Amino acid sequence: MARLSYREALNQAMSEEMEKDESIFLMGEEVGHYQGAYKVSQGMLQKFGEKRVIDTPIAECGFVGVGIGAAMTGLRPIIELMTWNFSLVAIDQIINNAAKIRYMSGGQFKIPVVFRGAGGAAHQLGAQHSQCLEYMYANCPGLKVVMPSTPADAKGLLKSAIRDDDPVVFIEGELLYGVQGEVPDGEHVVPLGKGDLKREGKDCTIVSWGRMVYLAMEAAEILAKENISVEIVDPRTIRPLDEELIFTSVRKTNRAVVLEEGHSFSSVGSEITARIQGACFDDLDAPVERISRLDIPMPYALNLEDLVVPDAKRVVAAVKRAMYLDKE
C-alpha cells in the first residue's frame, strides 16, 4: 500500500496507462506547461512530451471535438476539462457525437475517450462554477458516468475508464484533490459499474457518491455515539449503476437515505430513490429520505454557500427521521 493524494492517484493512473499504450494522450487547458489547473498532470509533459500532453486554447467545443475524432481513428484520448461547468460549452459534442456515434454507425466506430475534470462546489466560486452535472450526463444513453470518492477508487476507476471502448464522463471532486488515502501497490483496477460498501451498519443505509461520501462518514460517526449503526454505499459509477449492492444493503437495514451534492429535481438521487422504492418497497420500514443542496443558484458569499450545500447535521436528521427518532 502507498499513501497518495487523490490528484497523485489520478496522475499515476494516467501515467501508467500511457506508458503501456502509445495511443493514449492527454489534452486540455493548462495540462502541460502549467502542470494542470489542479496539478493532476504534474510532471507528465516532461515524461511524455508535447505530442502526448497537449495544451489547448480555451475552446472546449474544439478540443472535445478533436478528442472524439481521434477516438474514432483508433487513439485513446483523455480530455481534461478544467471543470465540468465548462463542459456546457461542448455539450453538443459530448451528447450528440461522443454518446451516439457508435450506435449511429452500427458499431463501426468505437469511441474510447475519457472526459475528466473537477465537479461540484468548492469555496466561493459562485453560481456558474459550482454545479453538479452528473444528472445531465447520466441521462444520456451511450455515456458511462464515474464519480470516485477516494484516491484508491480514483486510480482504479480511471484506469478502467481509459481502457473502456465507450466514452466515459469522469467527474472528480474539486475539493478532494488533496485528500490522502491508501492505494494498493501494483496493478490496481476497479471495474466500472461495481459499487463499494464504505461502512457496514445495520440500522440505516446511506447511498452517496463523490465528496458527499465523506459527509456520510462524518454523520455516521456522530450517530454511532447514539448507538445508531449506519451503512454507507458508494456506487462509484453512476451509470452503469450497481443496483444490487444498494438493494442488498437496504433490504438488510430496511431504511435508506440518499445523499447528493446536486439539486434534487430530476437528479441522480431521485432516480436512485425511485429504484429503491420500486425494488425494495416491501423491505422498507420508512419512506426513503433525500438530502441535496437547496434549490437555488449557488451564492458567492461563503456563509450563504454553507447554508445551501448539505452538512452533517442534515444527514443526521434524515437518518433519525427514517428511524422515527426525530423529535422535531
Q: Is 129 a catalytic residue?
A: yes
The CA distance from 178 to 174, in Å, is: 9
From the candidates 29, 60, 261, 289, which is the catalytic residue? 60
On whether the CB atoms of residues 309 and 293 are closer than 8 A, the answer is yes
From the candidates 17, 129, 134, 231, which is the catalytic residue? 129
Q: For each of the chain's 328 residues, which pLDDT tens digit applies? A: 899 999 999 999 999 999 999 999 999 999 999 999 999 999 999 999 999 999 999 999 999 999 999 999 999 999 999 999 999 999 999 999 999 999 999 999 999 999 999 999 998 999 999 999 999 999 999 999 999 999 999 999 999 999 999 999 999 999 999 999 999 988 999 999 999 999 999 999 999 999 999 999 999 999 999 999 999 999 999 999 999 999 999 999 999 999 999 999 999 999 999 999 999 999 999 999 999 999 999 999 999 999 999 999 999 999 999 998 875 5
The CA distance from 306 to 311, in Å, is: 8
Q: Do domains 2-183 and 196-322 have the same CATH topology?
A: yes
- Annotated domain spans of the chain: 2-183, 196-322
Residues in the chain: 328
On whether the CB atoms of residues 133 and 84 are closer than 8 A, the answer is yes
CA atoms within 13 A on the CB side of 137: 32
- Which of 3.40.50.920, 3.40.1500.10, 1.10.10.60, 3.60.20.10 would CATH assign to domain 196-322? 3.40.50.920
Q: Within the chain, where are the H helices?
A: 6-20, 44-48, 60-72, 91-92, 101-104, 134-138, 151-163, 212-224, 243-253, 268-279, 302-308, 312-322
On whether the CB atoms of residues 219 and 315 are closer than 8 A, the answer is yes
In CATH terms, the superfamily for domain 2-183 is Thiamin diphosphate (ThDP)-binding fold, Pyr/PP domains (3.40.50.970)
Q: Is 60 a catalytic residue?
A: yes
Helix H or strand E encompassing 233: strand 230-234
The SS3 of residue 257 is strand
